[in-house]
Structure 1
Amino acid sequence: MPSLDLTLPHWAYWIGLIVFPLIAMALARRPKPARRRYSLSLGYFILVTGGMLGLHRFYVKNLLGLLFIPVFLAILFANAQSQDARSAVSDADNVVRQAERILNREEERVATAEADLPGLRAELEEAIATEEEGSFAIRRAERNVERAEQRLEEGRARIAEASAELETARPLAATAQGDFSYWNNVARYAIYILLAAMAVDLFLMPGLVRRANARLPESEQVSEAELALRKLEESERKDDADWVSDGWTGWIDRTNLFAGEFVAYWAVIAVFVYYFEVVSRYVFGSPTNWAHEAMYLMFGMQYLIAGSYAMLTETHVRVDIFYAPMKRSNKAWVDLLTSVFFFIFAGTLLVTSYIFALDANAVATGNGLMSDWARGDIGFLEMLGNWNMDQWTDPNIRWGEISFNEWEVPLWPMKWVMVIGGLLLVLQGISKLAQDIRAVARGA
C-alpha cells in the first residue's frame, strides 16, 4: 500500500498563512467577466485537490466523473478491511508467540522434572527404609516427590493447551495475513487506477474546458424571480467603504477591514488541509502529525484578528431588543457608557497577550538574541544592533516556545498574533468612541 510521509515545514506553514490570503484577495478583486466561463487554471486546481473524487470532471459538467467515485469508495472499503485484517494478524501472532513461549518454557521444565523424579523417588525409598516413620527426612522426601509430580502434571497440561492453541492460531494467522495482503493489494491497485485516470485527465483538461465553454449559452438566462432576489441582496449588502468612518479614525477602520478579509481566507486553507488529512489517513493509511495542530493554531489566530473586524461591521452577537429602536444619538450615549467595560476587557487582553508573548520568547532555547531580549538580559536596540544571519541559520537557536508534539512548531508567533489582535481591538474601540462622541455632539 503506498503511503504519504509529508511533514509540513514550519516556514511553509507561516509563509502560507501570509501569501495565500494575499493571492486570494487579489483574485477576488479581479473584474468579473460579463459571461461566466470555465477556467483551465481552476480545472487543474480542482484536478490536483479533488481529482480522486472526479471533481474536475463534475466542474466541466462531464458525467464520467461518476466513474471515479466507486473506485474511491473501493479504496476506503479495502482500507477498512485491511485494517481489520491487520488487527486479526496481530491478535493471531500474539497467540502464536505466547503459545511458543509457553512450549519452550514448559518443555524444559517437564524435561527437568522427568529427569529429577527417579532420583527423588529413590531418596524417598531410602528415607523410608532408614528413617523412622513420620520423620522430617521422610516428609521432606515426600514433598519433593509430590512437587516434582505436580510440576510434571501441570507442565504437560500447559504443553497440551499451548499446542492446541498453536494448531488453531497458526491457520488463523495465515488466513488473516492472506486477507491483509489481498485487501492491501486491492487498495493499492485502485489508487494506481485513480492516479492513472488523473494523469490522463491532466492532458485532456484543455479539451474538457473548451467543450464545456462551447456548451454555454450565448446569454445567461435568468428568471424574473432570480433577478428580483439579486436586486434585494444588492440593496441589503453593505460595501466595505460604508463601514469606514470620517475623519482621522478612517485608517483604523480600513486596517481592520483588511485584517478581517485577510484572515477570512484562512478558512479556505483549512478545507485543503483537512482534505489532505482525510485522504492521507483513510486512502494512504498515513495520518499526519501536523494537520490538526496547524489548523488549531490557525483558527485561534483567526479568532483574535477577526475580533476588531466583527466589532467594526457590528456582527458580534448582542441583544437588540432595547438598543435597535433607539435613534443614533441615544445609541451613542449607550455605547459611551458601556465602552468602559469594553476597554477594560480589550486592555486586559492586550496587556496579558504581551506578557504571554514575552514569556514565549523568553524560553531558553540557545543564544538567540530575541530570547535574551525577552528575558530582559539586553535592551531592544541592542538586540536589533547585534542581529545577524546566525539568528536565522543556526540550528541551535530557537526563538522561543515550541509545541510538545512531534511537529514542534514554534508557538511564539501565535502569542504575538494575540498582541496584534488585542491592539487592533483597542484601536477599533477608539474609532468607535470617536464616532459616538461625534454623534452626541451633532445630536443626530
Structure 2
Amino acid sequence: MPGLSFTLPHWLYWVGLIVFPIIAMVLSRRPQPAQKRYSLPLAYMIAVTGGIIGLHRFYLKSLVGLVYLPLFLFILYSNGQEQSARSALSEVTNQIRVAERTLDREVGRVEEARASLAELQVAVDEAEEGSFAKRSAERRLERAQDTVETGQTRIDEARATVEEVGPLRDTAADTRAFWDMAAAYALYAILALLLIDFVLLPGMVSRANAALPAHEEITEAERRIREAEAEEGPKHDRDYAENWIDRLSLFCGEFVAYWAVIAVFVYYYEVIARYVFGSPTNWAHEAMYLMFGMQYLIAGAYAMLTETHVRVDIFYAPLPKKRKAWVDLLTSIFFFIFAGTLMVTSYIFAMDALAVPTGNAAISEWARGNIGLGELFGSLDASQWTDPNIRWGEISFNEWEVPLWPMKWVMVIGGLLLVLQGISKLSKDIREIARGN
C-alpha cells in the first residue's frame, strides 16, 4: 500500500488560516438562487475530498456511489490484517534476533571453555592434595564445566527457537505482503473509478439538474417553520452592530468561525492517511488544537456582543432594560479586571515567546532588549523571512516545530478585542440609563 509522507508547511498553515475564511466570507455573501441546483465546482470538490467513499455520487443522488463503499471497507479490512501480520512479523523477528545474538555470544564461550577443560584437568591432577593451588584449579575447572553445560543448553534452546520461529516469520512476511498488495489494488480500483467520474461529472450534474422539479417541494412542517420565522423576523448578526467596535467583533467572529470547516478537512485527511495509507501525521492534531485555541480567544468579543456566553441569569433575565443596564454597569468592573489581566499577561507571554534564547532573528534580539527599535527596523531584510536558519521565537517541541509565538500574539489580540467590546457595552449601558426607559 502506498504511503503518504506529506507534512503541512508552516507558511501554508498560516496562509490557510487567513485566506480560507476570506474566500468563505465572499462566497457566503453571494446571492442565493431561487431554486437550489447542483454545482459542478462543488461536485468536483466533493470528489477530490470524499470521492474515495463515493460522496460525489451521493451528492448527485446516484446509487452508483455504493460501488465505492465495499472497496473502501475492503481497504480498511486489508490494512487491519496487514497491521496484525506486521505485529506478528515484528514479534517473531525479535525472537529470532534474540536467538541469533545468543548463538553469537554462547558458541564462542562454550568452545573456549571446552578447549580449556583438558588443561584445567591436568592442573587439578598435578596440584598437591589439600593445597590452595589444588582448590583454585578445581574451582576453575568447575566454572569451565558450568560454562559448557549452561552455554550448550542456551545454544540448543536458541537453535530450536530459530528452527521453530523461522517458518512463522516467512508466513507472517508473506501474509503482510499479500494484504498490503490487496489494499493497494483496491485503492487503484477506486482511483480508476474516480478518474472515470471526473470525466463524467459535467454530464452527471447536468442530468441531476434536469431531473429537479420545476418548483421546490417542501413538507408541511418545513412550510410552518418558514412561516414562523417570517413572522418573528430572525435577528441577524448585523442587527447587533451599533458602532465600529461591534462591527469589528462581528467580523472577527465570522472570520474565525470558518476555521471549523478547516478542521473538518484536516481531520478527514488525518483519518484517511492513518487508516487507509497507514501514514499518521505528526502535525494534524497540533495544528487544530492551536487553531481552536486562537478561535476561542478571538471569538470572545463576538460571543459577548451577541450574548452567547453561558451564564446563570435567573434573576437577571426578568429585569427591565434599565435595571439590566445598571447591573451590567456595576458588574463591568469585574469584567474589565479579567479582560485587562488577560491582555496584559498575554502581552508578557507573547514577548517572552519572541525573546526565547534560541531565537536568533532581529526581532528576538529586540525582544531581549539587545537592540533598539530603530536598529530592529534597519535589520529587517529579506533574509529575516526566507533564511531557514533564522528562528524568530518559541517553537513547539514535536517534530512539526511550528512557531508558537504567533499564537501567543493572537492571545493579545483576543484580549484587546474583549476590552474594546467591553467599552462598547459600557457605553450602551450608560446611554440606556440616561434615556431613563
The letter for the 2-side match of 1:116 is S
**Residue 244 of structure 1 aligns to which amino acid in structure 2?**
A
Cα gap change, 1:153/1:366 in structure 2, threshold over 3 Å: closer, same or farther? closer
Q: Specify the alignment match of 1:231 in structure 2.
A: 227
Residue of structure 2 in register with 1:281 after alignment: 274
Q: Give the Cα separation in 2 of the matches to 1:170 and 1:403.
A: 44
**Counterpart amino acid of residue 419 in structure 1:** V
Q: Distance in 2 between matches of 1:75 and 1:405?
A: 30
Aligned-pair CA distance for 1:381: 4.8
How many pairs are equivalent? 436
> Is 1:204 aligned to residue 197 of structure 2?
no
Match of 2:157 among 157, 161, 168: 161
Distance 2:293 2:359 in 1: 28
Displacement after TM superposition at 1:237 (Å): 2.5
**Hey, what's the Cα distance between the residues in 1 that align with 2:330 and 2:140?**
95
* Distance change >3 Å, CA 324–CA 236, structure 1 → 2: farther
User: Residue 388 of structure 1 aligns to a residue in which SS?
Assistant: coil
Aligned residue number for residue 240 of structure 2: 243
Deviates further, 95-104 or 325-334: 95-104
Match of 2:415?
Answer: 422
Match of 1:68 in 2: 68
- TM norm structure 1: 0.95
Give CA deviations for 1:376-427 in whole Å, capped at 9, x if unaligned.
Answer: 3344355335432222223332221111111111111111111111111000
Of residues 271, 294, 297, the one that matches 2:290 is 297
Quick one: which of 367, 370, 384 aligns to 1:374?
367
CA RMSD of aligned residues (A): 1.5
Distance 2:224 2:329 in 1: 40
Q: Which runs of 5+ in 1 are unaligned?
A: none
Whichever residue aligns with residue 8 of structure 2, its letter is: L
Q: How does 1:33-112 map to 2 (within 5 A)?
A: 33-112=33-112
> Which residue in the other structure is 1:384 paired with?
377
Which among 356, 360, 366 is matched to residue 349 of structure 2? 356
**Contact kept? 1:365, 1:397, Cα under 8 Å:** no
Q: Within 5 Å, which residues of 2 pair with 1:315-326?
A: 315-326=308-319
Whether 2:398 is the aligned partner of 1:402: answer: no
Is 2:304 the counterpart of 1:311? yes
SS of 2:299's partner is helix
Distance in structure 1 (CA, Å) of the matches to 2:341 and 2:156:
73
Instruction: Write out per-residue CA displacement over residues 96-151 of structure 1, whole angstroms, 9 at most, x where no aligned residue.
Output: 11111212222222222221112222222233xxx2x3222332232232222222
CA distance in 2 between counterparts of 1:385 and 1:152 reads 78
CA distance in 1, matches of 2:373, 2:115: 84
Query: C-alpha offsets along residues 349-372 of structure 1, whole Å, 9 cap, x if unaligned?
Result: 011111111111122456533223
TM-superposed deviation, 1:194 = 1.1
Structure 2: gaps of 5 or more residues: none
SS at match of 1:407: coil
Aligned to 1:25: 25
Among all aligned residue pairs of Structure 1 and Structure 2, give the percentage whose two residues are the same amino acid.
65
The whole-number CA distance in structure 2 between the counterparts of 1:443 and 1:381 is 53
Number of the residue aligned with 1:146: 142
Report the AA paired with residue 399 of structure 1: W
Counterpart CA distance in 2 for 1:190 and 1:79 is 11
1:443 and 1:204 mapped to 2: Cα distance?
A: 67
Deviation track 1:293-352 (CA, whole Å, cap 9, x = no partner) reads 110110000000000000000000011211111100000000001000000000000111
Q: Does 234-243 or 84-93 show the bigger shift?
A: 234-243
Report the AA paired with residue 436 of structure 1.
D
Matched, 1:214 2:210: yes
- Check the 8 A contact 2:359/2:393 in 1, yes or no: no
Query: Which residue is equivalent to 2:126?
Result: 126
| 2:323 corresponds to which of 324, 327, 330 | 330
Between 336-345 and 167-176, the greater mean CA deviation after superposition: 167-176
Q: Kindly tell me: are residues 377 and 149 of structure 1, through their superposed partners in 2, closer, same or farther at Cα, counting changes over 3 Å?
A: closer
Q: Determine the structure 2 residue equivalent to 1:344.
A: 337
Native 8 Å contact 1:365 1:396 kept in 2: no
Deviates more, 1:217-226 or 1:47-56: 217-226
Shift of 1:82: 1.0
Query: Normalization by structure 2: what TM-score?
Result: 0.96
| 1:224 Cα deviation from its structure 2 partner | 3.0
What letter is aligned with 2:368?
Answer: R
2:263 counterpart residue number: 270
AA in 2 matched with 1:16: G
